[in-house]
Amino acid sequence: MLDQGHRRAAATRAVVSDRRAILLAAGVFLMMAWSAIAAHAATISDFYGSYSGSAEVVSTDGEVHQRDMSVKISGYPQDKNRKDQFTVAWTSISYFDDGRSKEASYSIDFNRTDRPDVFAAAMQKNVFGHEVQADPMKGQPFVWARIQGNTMTVFSLFVGDDGGYEIQQYDRTLTDLGLDLAFSRVRNGEILRTINTILVRD
């Protein structure tokens, strides 16, 4: 009986030891995986540069036309007043079958917020001269950006006079060639347009 008790105790200690070893190995694996993800997470400066490309775009009336697109993402590390700020400037030129073309350009400055990797757009200045975000209740776009992994996303939210909404989302993901662009435009839950293309680093 005593030998059986010793054997049971030894077996129990072995099981506990094995479980501890498994838990320790799992913990080490998770730490290594998290370190690998963190090591590959992009910072703002990784996006700095100029990129260009083109895509076929389908209008709401079903017409297909060519659109050239370019974007420049830049920072100001040497400017102490703007070291925590970066700018996204983009241009699109649409070409139509009747020979017309339409160009649109935008440029937005972004400031760091208290939330990691979330940035507020500096769309206008208040009475104290501080850069602040626009007011969507006044028909102005509310814009912000975030960085998750290797993707920088810019969101632009509009609130209509009837209280409805429209949100535009630009996902720009770093690749060996430059950026993968995924654009979507949604109004009150309805997808109005999507664009997917590659923007090559100039």
Query: Is the domain of 107 the same as that of 180?
Result: yes
Tens digits of residue pLDDT in 63-104: 788 999 999 999 987 777 777 789 999 999 999 888 899 999
Produce one character per residue of 146-155: b if its CB has 16 or more CB atoms within 10 Å, e if not: bbeebbbebb
In the chain, pLDDT over 70 holds for what percent of residues? 75
For residues 160 and 103, state if they share a domain: yes
Strand, helix or coil for residue 84 = coil
d(CA 82, CA 145): 17
- Show the domain range for 58: 44-201
The full length of the chain comes to 202
- 23 and 48 belong to one structural domain: no
Q: Is 20 helix (H, G, I), strand (E, B) or coil?
A: helix
Q: What is the CATH number of the domain that holds 128?
A: 2.40.128
3-state SS class at 166: strand
Contact assessment for residue 151 and residue 131, using Cβ atoms and an 8 Å cutoff: no
**15 shares a domain with 54:** no
Distance from chain centroid for Cα 149? 8
Same domain? For 5 and 70 the reply is no
Q: How far apart are CA 37 and CA 9, in angstroms?
A: 42
93 & 81 share domain: yes
Judge if 22 and 81 occupy the same domain: no
Backbone angles phi, psi at 60, to 5 degrees: -65, -25
Residue-level pLDDT at 41:
79
Instruction: Kindly state whether residues 21 and 121 are assigned to the same domain.
Output: no
Question: Which one is predicted more confidently, 9 or 200?
Answer: 200
- Same domain as 72, residue 3: no
Q: Are residues 86 and 160 in the same domain?
A: yes
Same structural domain for residues 123 and 136?
yes
Sequence-separated (6 or more) residues with CB below 8 Å from residue 140 = 123, 134
Count of domains for the chain: 2
Q: What is the pLDDT of residues 29-73, one digit of tens each?
A: 444 444 444 445 789 999 999 999 999 988 777 778 899 999 999
- pTM (2 d.p.): 0.74
| Tokens 């700020």 sit on residue | 85
Higher pLDDT, 25 or 98: 98
Q: How far apart are CA 48 and CA 50, in angstroms?
A: 7
Q: Are residues 59 and 21 in the same domain?
A: no
**pLDDT average, residue stretch 140-147:** 94
